[in-house]
Structure 1
Amino acid sequence: MKWYGLPVLGLIIGTWATLRFSLLAPEPPVNPNDLCEIFREHTVWYDYAKDSQERWGTPIATQMAFVYYESSFRSHARPPRTRLWGFIPWTRPTTAYGYAQALDPAWGEYLAANGDGLFTVRTDMEYALDFVGWYNHLSHRQLGIPFHSPRLLYLAYHEGRGGYARKTFARKPSITALASRVQSRAFRYDNQLKSCEKEFQCWRWYQFWPFCG
């Protein structure tokens, strides 16, 4: 009886994981240009970003600007496949995956440093934002990049800390332009958040002033 129960248990766990991380993945926000509207639609994302900020130091608005440009808030985003002979779907150019487009090696380092949890996945906004915060924390600590400089943080995020130290971005005008757009969006998101953040600090039934500010 115990042996026969194992496949059933595996089926239940597999079904739950599929629902948890795929079928129930939230849709991208309707208005991705307004951080207040993003958090009104996905209020728990504010909690995740706030937790990451408190743990690692990257401002909420900067985290969300990173995700906007990395995945457009699509949970299972991947780089498009290359085409063999112009029409056969082939390999992807990188292993980037999820909200934060974390590469396999960087994600492996994150798991090693923060606990390799079974359900710590790149398609979950909670861990994607924590990854962004963790990566920027290392860029801040190792490269001296201030948390209030989204442009420089993004250059290190995109090029890797080694690439940033070698200034590989100096030969990539498209990347430097993208980093400037990330910074502009981060500052715009930050101004928007200042007008609405109190909404998300006391939104659960068990949260009440002054314990949720």
Structure 2
Amino acid sequence: MRFNWQILETAIRRRRPKKTQSFTTRYVTPFIFISLMTWLVGGFAIVVPAPPLRQDNVCEIFREQPTWYDHAASSRDRWGTPIAVQMAFVHYESSFRSHIRPPRSQLFGFIPWVRPSTAYGYAQALDPAWSDYMNEAGSVFATRDQMKHALDFIGWYNRKTHEQLGIPQNKPDHLYYAYHEGRTGYRRGYHKQKPALQRIAANVAARTTSYQSQLASCESEFRCRQFYEFGPFCG
């Protein structure tokens, strides 16, 4: 009688336990994939800080987000715009919301239509101005929805305004006119025909004064925060 090895092999295979998926393959990998897709589809929003609770007090803003002070100080050192001016601009442009855009107009009164401008992010930078900034001074990975880059953009724009129009960087109302209307619009005096814009610029100036006064009382908290910063070599 001939022994059937094929029958024996089949029986052994049936007795082997089935391979089970590892914990990583079964649970961790799908979770990472879903999280990554959510992050990408959501415009990276899940890693963006919420707007500060006390937007009227720059000390409280920096206590909530200490790195924002570092970014504002870096922009000031690079371009010359005071920290209080930068933060006042962000306050009135976006209320510290990272992904904000102008609301869409409505077609026939109810159909969402086009946006009135390409403004986006903390600084509400327009596409053309942002493109100029990126070509001239922005880092490769700069985005308008990151505070570091938004503040650097504001500093860069105000430096260009100072160089081209002669507006001092501690004169926030006129800096804001040029920021809102563009430098050509400022030269042509468009802001003089817009009472609503004049009120906003006056508010920006008042907010700057308030922020500057507050910052004078608390700025020491945010200097020398890192382990490598000490003495006269920081802030």
Same-fold call, TM cutoff 0.5: yes
Question: In the alignment, what sits opposite 2:121?
Answer: 98
CA contact under 8 A between 2:39 and 2:46: conserved in structure 1?
no
Q: What's the CA shift for 1:12? A: 10
* Aligned-residue offset at 1:202: 1.6
SS at match of 1:138: helix
Runs (4 or more) in structure 1 with deviation over 6 Å come to 11-20
The correspondence of residues 109-120 of structure 1 with structure 2, limited to 5 A, is 109-115=132-138, 117=140, 119-120=141-142
Distance 2:115 2:94 in 1: 15
Aligned to 1:42, which of 52, 65, 81? 65
Structure with higher Rg: it is 2
The number of equivalent residue pairs is: 203
RMSD: 2.1
The CA distance in 2 between the partners of 1:28 and 1:81, in whole Å, is 22
Q: What is the TM-score normalised by the length of structure 1? A: 0.89
Deviation digits for residues 35-69 of structure 1, max 9, x if unmatched?
00000000000000000001101000000000000
Q: Work out which of the residue numbers 73, 85, 98 in structure 2 matches 1:62.
A: 85
Q: How does 1:87-166 map to 2 (within 5 A)?
A: 87-115=110-138, 117=140, 119-166=141-188
1:136, 1:100 → 2: CA distance?
A: 12
Give how far 1:148 is off: 1.3
Matched with 1:7 is none
Per the TM alignment, residue 20 of structure 1 is displaced from its structure 2 partner at its CA by 8.8
Between 1 and 2, higher relative CO (CA 8 Å, sep ≥ 6) is seen in: 1
Identical amino acids, percent of aligned pairs: 56
Task: Measure, in 2, the Cα distance between the counterparts of 1:179 and 1:147.
Answer: 14
Point out where structure 1 has 5 or more consecutive residues left out of the alignment: 1-10
Cα displacement string for residues 98-130 of structure 1 (whole angstroms, at most 9, x for unaligned residues): 00000000000000101461x210000000000
What TM-score, normalized to structure 2? Answer: 0.81
- CA drift of 1:210 comes to 3.2
**Matches of 1:205 and 1:138, distance apart in 2:** 35
Deviation at 1:212, TM superposition (A): 2.1
Q: Is the 8 A contact 2:133 2:156 kept in 1?
A: yes
Residue 51 of structure 2 aligns with which residue? 28
**Secondary structure at the counterpart of residue 75 of structure 2:** helix
Q: Gaps spanning 5+ residues in structure 2: where?
A: 1-33
